[in-house]
Structure formats: structure tokens, C-alpha cells
Amino acid sequence: MNIKQYLDSTYLKTPAQAGLSVVENTEIVKKFIQEAIDESFKLIMIRPDMVSLAKKMIAKANSKVLIGTVIGFHEGTNLLQEKLDEANKAITDGADDLDFVCNYEAFKKGEIDLVKNEILQATKLGLQHHKTVKWIIEVAALNSDQIIQISALIKNVVMSNFNEDYYNSVYVKSSTGFYKTENNLPNGATVSSIIMMLENCSPLPVKAAGGVKSYDEAIEMIRLGVKRIGTSSAKAIANEEISTSDY
């Protein structure tokens, strides 16, 4: 198994979140991009304003590393048009994968038609441009029933509106890695949440993101059936080390 082809190497902190200047934070992003190139990871996952930088570095290196970015990050409550505009800009800048934060707060309030339309319109945009689309459901913000229901909802929207040839291009993704939990509870992928997602969004693939920090954890997720792993600890995982990263 080439575990590197499962790894979406991720750096999504803003300068303020990292406690750094814009210049300092950009240098960290550059290091993550270069590391992804050097290690031949599947993808580099960065914020939208860094996509054009990644495109230039990857093209210069003649690398096959894909570029992913987040849309509506990290709360997911943006208006649909705002998400579509952000996605269009990312597409223009060279993104391959669009990881939308689903409006899970609207879902929790019972605004199901709003959520269905968001999933339909944003997925359509991504697939029309031959992009991979991922829907972040933020499992730490949901109870078990809600994880099951929103996973099934995404599956049903996709299966009702798109040809089966596209199913492998629309993922359900566990987490942003930035959700604030109480009492130090996990804020990312857990075995139980991933199992619920896999059981209820199939045949759509699953991406485990948030909290996967070691080789053993990554292998466990892959054995469960996930197709991608989002992690800020990609190199540590590839080297079978345990990361000290905080997300």
C-alpha cells in the first residue's frame, strides 16, 4: 500500500490563528506545498488565497500533486451564492478539489431544502468543471442520528441528480479540524463517526479529516474503507511517526 496516495496534506490556519504575520504564515504554506511535492502526497489542502501560489510551485516542479481548498470554511453558514463565488475563484486559480463546509447548522434547524439545494448547486458547479467535490459535515457538531441523516441526505441528492460515473468524485468528509468542542472531546474523525458515514453515504467515498495523526490511525481508517485522509501530519504518518500537531 502506498499510504501517501491517501494523504491530503493540510495547512489551513490563518495568520491570526497561527499567531504569525502574513509573511511568516505564507512561508509555512510554502513549506507544506514543497513537502507535498517532495513526498508525492496525493494532495495539498490549503486556503483559497493560497491556491495560485500552489499552482505555480507544483507546475514549476512538474509535480502531480493535486491542489485542494476549502469553501465556506470553517463554519459553513455562508450564503449559497457566496460559496459558489468562492468556488469559482478557486477553480479559476487552479484548484482540483473543492471541500465545501456543509451548512450543518441549517440542517440541525430542520432547513432541509436549503441544505439539499446547497449540495445540489455546489456539486453541480464542481462536477461541471471536472473537480472533486467534498462535503464537510463536522461530525463533532452532530449527534449520531444527525451524522447518519446528513450522510444519507448527501448521498440521496447526488444519486438523484448525477450519473453514477460521478459518484467517486463526491465525498463525504468528517471535519474541518477547527470545531471547538467541550471537555477536550475529539473534534475530528473518530472510528464510530467514520463507520456511520461509510454505512450511510455509500456508494459515495469518505474522507477522514481531523485528528488522524499517526500511521496506525491512518491505517485503521483505510481498513475501515476511507479513500482519503486529511491531516496536518502527513509526513509523520508517511514515516510511521506520531505527530504532535494540534489538528
Give the active site residues: 99, 173, 207
H or E, element range at 219: helix 215-224
User: How much is the pLDDT for 222?
Assistant: 97
Q: Using 50, 70 and 90 to split pLDDT, how confident is the model at 246? A: low
- All structural domains of the chain with their residue ranges: 3-238
Which of the 8 DSSP states describes residue 111? -
Residue of 127, 47, 133, 128 lying closest to 93 (CA atoms): 47
- Could you give the 3-state DSSP secondary structure of residue 106? helix
pLDDT, tens digit, 9 for 90 and up, residues 215-244: 999 999 999 999 999 999 999 999 998 776
Q: Parallel, antiparallel, or unpaired: how do β-strands 66-71 and 228-231 relate?
A: unpaired
Q: Using 50, 70 and 90 to split pLDDT, how confident is the model at 247? A: low
Residues 69, 97: Cα–Cα separation, whole Å: 6
Confirm whether pTM is higher than 0.75: yes
- Out of 3.60.15.10, 3.10.20.440, 3.20.20.70, 3.30.2010.10, select the CATH number for domain 3-238: 3.20.20.70
